[in-house]
Amino acid sequence: MSTLDTPTGTPDQPMLRIPKSSHPMPTSTTHGNRRIPVLAYVVVLLAVIGVLVAGSQTMGWFKTTGQMTSSSGEKVAPAAGAATSDIKGWMSIQQVLDAYPVTKEALYAHFGIPADTPTTTTLSELKEGAVGTLDVPTLRSWIDDGAPA
């Protein structure tokens, strides 16, 4: 470092000498500015996050899962006739069959699911286990396009 401690400083406020060779780029501004303490910067911004997240939770907007649960905490599948956008990976094959106009045979045949796969298997398990070719967006499109009932 090309700076020097000098005897002009005190132990409480040591000074640095700007080297004669130093030519820092000049600064220029037409705006006023005020220093922000680092602690205030951090605390205020963390508080902003806390307030916004807590506010959205209070309003019921902060959902971290697509699952719908009853007051007793049980998973609730979409009712019959619900929009296909309600199909989620956590749903079992049986819940899809119950809620949408599609037969088990047609579903299994279309997505190449082995016939012995239980209908309690969730869509996520099918996808993660690479059982057949089913994934949620494709299933939604297939039902929207008029899957055989």
Which residues would be at the binding site for other proteins (CB under 8 A)?
1-3, 5-6, 8-9, 13-19, 22-36, 38-39, 41-42, 44-46, 48-49, 52-53, 56, 61-67, 75, 83, 85, 89-90, 122, 124, 136-137
CB 143 within 8 A of CB 102: yes
Number of residues that make up the chain:
149
Q: Taking the complex as a whole, how short is the minimal distance between the CB of residue 41 and other proteins, in angstroms?
A: 6
Q: In which residue are the tokens 């911004």 written?
A: 45
Q: Taking the complex as a whole, how short is the minimal distance between the CB of residue 91 and other proteins, in angstroms?
A: 11
Tell me whether residue 89 or residue 132 sits nearer to other proteins (CB atom). 89
Q: Taking the complex as a whole, how short is the minimal distance between the CB of residue 138 and other proteins, in angstroms?
A: 9
Tell me whether residue 2 or residue 70 sits nearer to other proteins (CB atom). 2
Q: Which pair of tokens denotes residue 73? A: 């905490």
The whole-angstrom separation of Cα 94 and Cα 142 is: 17
Q: Taking the complex as a whole, how short is the minimal distance between the CB of residue 52 and other proteins, in angstroms?
A: 5
Exposure string of 100-126, with b = 16+ CB inside 10 Å and e = fewer, is: bebeeeebbebbebeeebeeeebbeeb
Q: Taking the complex as a whole, how short is the minimal distance between the CB of residue 126 and other proteins, in angstroms?
A: 12
Query: How many other CB atoms sit within 10 Å of the CB of residue 26?
Result: 5
Tell me whether residue 9 or residue 105 sits nearer to other proteins (CB atom). 9
Tell me whether residue 49 or residue 79 sits nearer to other proteins (CB atom). 49
Give the end-to-end CA distance of the chain in Å, rounded to a whole number: 78
Tell me whether residue 83 or residue 109 sits nearer to other proteins (CB atom). 83
